[in-house]
Amino acid sequence: MGRGALLLTSLLAPAWAGAMQWSGSADVTGRSVDTDGDRSKYRQHLNLDSGVHLQELVVRGHRDDRGRGLAPDRIDISAYGLGREPFQRMDVRVQAYDRYRFDYQRRTSEYRYDDLLIDPADASIPGSTGGDFHTFDVDRVFDRARLELTASDRATVTLGYDRHRRTGDGTTTISEQREEFVLDRPVDETLQVAELGFRYRWDAVTVTLTERYREYDNDAVVALPGFSAGSNPAAPGNLDRYRLERPWRYDGWEHGLRVQARPRLNDGRRAEIDLDAVRLDLDGRHRALESAAGTTFAAAPFSRDRAGSGRLDHETTLLRLRGRYPVSESLRLVGGLSRRELDQHGSLLWDGDENRSDWALTTRTYEAGVEVNLTPGVTGALGWIGERRDQRLRGEGAIGATFETSTRHDGYFAELAWRASKRLTLRLDAQDASIDDAFTRASATERSRWRAQAQYRIDDAWSVAASHRRSRHHNANSDWTWRDRQTTVRIDRAGPRLSLTLGTTRIDQDREFLAPVSNGLRTVIFEIDYDGDARLHDAAATWRLTEALSVGASIHGLRHRGSFAVSRDDVRTYLSFMAPSGYGASLSYRYLEFEEGGLEAFDARIVELSLRRSW
C-alpha cells in the first residue's frame, strides 16, 4: 500500500509540477555501530544498525493561485528513517483547498524484547523467579489512508482505511505438569478498519454520520520448538510434543452520529452543544486445538489431544451530551453527561465442557463547572465530576458464579492560570476524587493530583520553566497508598549563535501495602514497600561558528533506584556544515552506556555521517 501511494503521487506529480513551486530537503546517512555487552538489551533499547539509510526526505509543493479540477494546491511528502531505522515513517498529503484532501501515512516499528532480569545464582525455578521468559521480535506496520471530499459548500464525504499488521517471532511459557516450558509463539495479526463518513453543515449545526467496518484476525499458535528437557532438571515433568493453535477473529460495524450545534446568542457569543451516539457491534469466533505428550510430574507418560471452539459477541453503546454556555464575556457554564454500556457474551466448548461468560457494564458520568476570565490575564475553572458504574459478570462452567458490584466516584477539579505578563505565566491545577468501592484492591478509593507550573521569559534569549506535581492514590479497603512526586526545571537560551538547554527532573514514588495473601489454610503477609526515585538530567548546546558551520553536544542521563537500579548515559557530539548552495554534511558521534539491575549492561559507540541537500 505504501508503494502504491508513492507510485500514485509520483505519477500524478509531474502533471501538476509545472504549476507548483517545490522545496524540500533530503538527508542520506551512513552509520557505523560498535557495541559491547548484552546484545539483546541493545536491540531492546536502541536497535540501530550499521549501514546507509534515508534519514529524512521532505518535499513540499504549493501553487500561488488556486488550482481547479483535481489539480492540487499543495503536496507534502515526508519520510523518516527509510531503510534501516527501527522506526520509519512516511506521510503524503495532497490537498486541493475546498475540494479534497488526501492523507496517507505509513509507520513501521520494530520491537525487540528480551528481559531476563535475574542473576542465575539467585534464580529459583520452583519459585518462578528465573526471569521473564517472554520474548518478542515483532514488526508493526500501520497504514492509514484518508480522503476527504468536499461534495458541496455544506457537505463533506470522508473515506478512510486503516490497517495494522503485527508479525514476527516470540516466545511464551506454558505451565504443564507443574513446570514451565518456554515455547515458540509466532505473531501474526491484522486489524483493518474501513470508514465512510458524511458531514453536513448548516450555519450553526453540523451533523456527522460515520460507518466503520472493523475486521481483526489473529493466528495465534504456541508450539514446542523441538525436544525440550523442561525448565527444571530436578523434576521429572517433561514435554516431547506440544502444539496449541488458538486462532480468533472478529468483525463488525460501528455506527456513529454526532450533532454539533454552535448557536449564536443575542449578544453575539456562541453556545456549544454536542451530542454523540456510537454503537459498536462485533461478532467473534475462536477455536483451539491442543496436542501434548511427555512425562508427568509423577514420572508417568502422558498424551493429550483437546479441541474446542466458541463465539464472542461484543456490543458497546455510547451516548454523550456536552454543553457550554457563555453567561457573559467572562463566565461560561460547562457540563456533560454520558452513558456507556457494554454487553458481552463469550462461549467455549472445550474438551466436551461448556463454558459461558456474560458481561454487563454500565457507566454513567456527569460533569459540571464554570470557566471564568477573572481579568484578561487570569483564567480559572472549577467543577464537579461524578461517575456511577454497575458491573455484572455471570459465568457458567469454569466461571461458576455471578459477581455484581456498583461503584460511585465523585470529585472536583480546579484550575487557575495567570498570564502575569508576556514574560511570566503561572498555572495551578488540582483534581481530587473519591470512589466508594474500588473494583480492585490496588485501585484508588481516593485520588488527588496537584500541579504547579511556571514559565518565565527572562529576555529575548533566556527562559526558564519549572513544574511540580504531586499525586496520591489510596485504597481505603486495603490501606494501600501510592505517592508520586515530580519536579522539573528547564533553562533555555535561544540565540543566533549559541543555543542552550539544561533540564533536570526528579521523580519520587513510594507505595506501601501489607498484602495478606491466603490459601485457605495459612495467610502470609507480603510487605510491598516500594521506595524508588528517578533522576533525569539533560543538557544540549549548539554553537554556530559561522553561517555555514556549527558544532553541538548533548548529554542525557538517567539514574533510577527502586526494586532494581537502572542507569543510562547518552552523550552526543556533532559537527555540521551547510553551504549556501544547499549542500551540507554532518558528522556525529554518540556514546551510550546502559546498566540494569547490575545484571544486564551494554555500551554502544555510534558514528554517523550525513549528506544533506536542500532546495
Partner 1 sequence: MRWFLVLLFGIASSLAHGEAHGEARGDPLPCAACHADAAMALAHTPHGGDMACVSCHQNAEAHAASPRNVGDMLTFGPGTGQRADDACIGCHQRETHPVSAHRRAGLGCHDCHRVHGEVTPPAPLPGHERMDAASASCQTCHQDVFSRFAMNERHRLTRGGVGCTDCHDPHGPSTRRFLGGGTDTCLTCHADLAGPFVFEHAAGRVEGCLACHDPHAGPNRHMLTHQREGELCYSCHAVMPGFHFGFAATGPPRFGLDTVCTNCHSTIHGSNLDKDFLR
Contacts with partner 1, 575-594, as mask; x by CB under 8 A: --------------------
Separation CA 112–CA 508 (nearest Å): 29
Vertex 270 angle, CA 265 and 276, to 5°: 120
Let me know: does 1 contact 146? Beta carbons within 8 Å. Answer: no
Antiparallel, parallel or unpaired: β 205-218 and 566-578 = unpaired
The CB-of-14 to partner 1 minimum distance in angstroms stands at 20
Residue 227 or 403 having the CB closest to partner 1: 403
CA–chain centroid gap for 54, Å, is 26
Residue 300 or 525 having the CB closest to partner 1: 525
Here the contacts of 494-498 (C-beta below 8 Å, separation 24 or greater) are: 494/461, 494/463, 495/461, 496/544, 497/543, 497/544, 498/541, 498/542, 498/543, 498/544
Burial class (CB in 10 A: 0-12, 13-18, 19+), 11: exposed
Separation CA 293–CA 242 (nearest Å): 7
Compute the half-sphere exposure of residue 261: CA atoms within 13 Å on the CB side of its CA.
11
The CB-of-227 to partner 1 minimum distance in angstroms stands at 21
Which one among 25, 57, 323, 578 touches partner 1, defined by CB under 8 A? 323
Q: Is 244 in the site for partner 1 (CB under 8 A)?
A: yes
Separation CA 294–CA 241 (nearest Å): 7
Residue indicated by cell numbers 456490543: 315
Contacts with partner 1, 296-315, as mask; x by CB under 8 A: ------------x-x-xxx-
Q: What is the DSSP letter of 13?
A: H
Q: Is 218 in the site for partner 1 (CB under 8 A)?
A: yes
Separation CA 139–CA 168 (nearest Å): 6
Instruction: Read off the C-alpha cell for 527.
Output: 510487605
Which listed range, 1-9, 58-66, 233-241, 604-612, lies at the site for partner 1 (CB under 8 A)? 58-66
SS3 277: strand
The CB-of-115 to partner 1 minimum distance in angstroms stands at 5
Which one among 8, 174, 235, 426 touches partner 1, defined by CB under 8 A? 174
Size of the site for partner 1 (CB under 8 A): 199
Q: What is the DSSP letter of 270?
A: B
The CB-of-31 to partner 1 minimum distance in angstroms stands at 14
Let me know: does 526 contact 515? Beta carbons within 8 Å. Answer: yes
The CB-of-228 to partner 1 minimum distance in angstroms stands at 15
The CB-of-513 to partner 1 minimum distance in angstroms stands at 6
Q: Is 2 in the site for partner 1 (CB under 8 A)?
A: no
Q: Which of residues 100-129 bind partner 1 (CB under 8 A)?
A: 100, 107, 109, 113, 115, 118, 124, 126-129
Strands (DSSP E) found in 329-401 = 331-350, 353-375, 378-396
Q: Which of residues 353-382 bind partner 1 (CB under 8 A)?
A: 355, 357, 359, 361-363, 365, 367, 369, 371, 373, 375-377, 379-381
Q: Is 464 in the site for partner 1 (CB under 8 A)?
A: no
Q: Is 173 in the site for partner 1 (CB under 8 A)?
A: yes
The CB-of-560 to partner 1 minimum distance in angstroms stands at 5
Pick from 342, 441, 363: nearest CA to 407: 363
Q: Is 342 in the site for partner 1 (CB under 8 A)?
A: yes
Residue 19 or 159 having the CB closest to partner 1: 159
Q: Is 40 in the site for partner 1 (CB under 8 A)?
A: no
Q: Which of residues 4-23 bind partner 1 (CB under 8 A)?
A: none
Q: Is 141 in the site for partner 1 (CB under 8 A)?
A: no
Separation CA 20–CA 190 (nearest Å): 39
Let me know: does 533 contact 506? Beta carbons within 8 Å. Answer: yes
Q: Is 237 in the site for partner 1 (CB under 8 A)?
A: no
Which one among 34, 98, 119, 436 touches partner 1, defined by CB under 8 A? 98
Q: What is the maximum alpha-carbon separation in the chain? A: 87
Q: Is 434 in the site for partner 1 (CB under 8 A)?
A: no
What are the residues facing 196 on neighbouring strands?
Answer: 159, 211
Which one among 97, 227, 384, 615 touches partner 1, defined by CB under 8 A? 97
The CB-of-288 to partner 1 minimum distance in angstroms stands at 5
Q: Which of residues 511-550 bind partner 1 (CB under 8 A)?
A: 511, 513, 515-522, 524, 526, 528, 530, 532, 534, 536, 538-540
Q: Which of residues 379-408 bind partner 1 (CB under 8 A)?
A: 379-381, 383, 387, 389, 391, 393, 395, 398-399, 403
> What are the Cα distances from residue 574, in Å, to 47, 541, 554, 590?
21, 10, 9, 9
Q: Is 192 in the site for partner 1 (CB under 8 A)?
A: yes
Which one among 27, 143, 596, 608 touches partner 1, defined by CB under 8 A? 596
Let me know: does 366 contact 385? Beta carbons within 8 Å. Answer: yes
Q: Is 417 in the site for partner 1 (CB under 8 A)?
A: yes
Q: Which of residues 484-503 bind partner 1 (CB under 8 A)?
A: 486, 488, 490, 494, 499, 501, 503
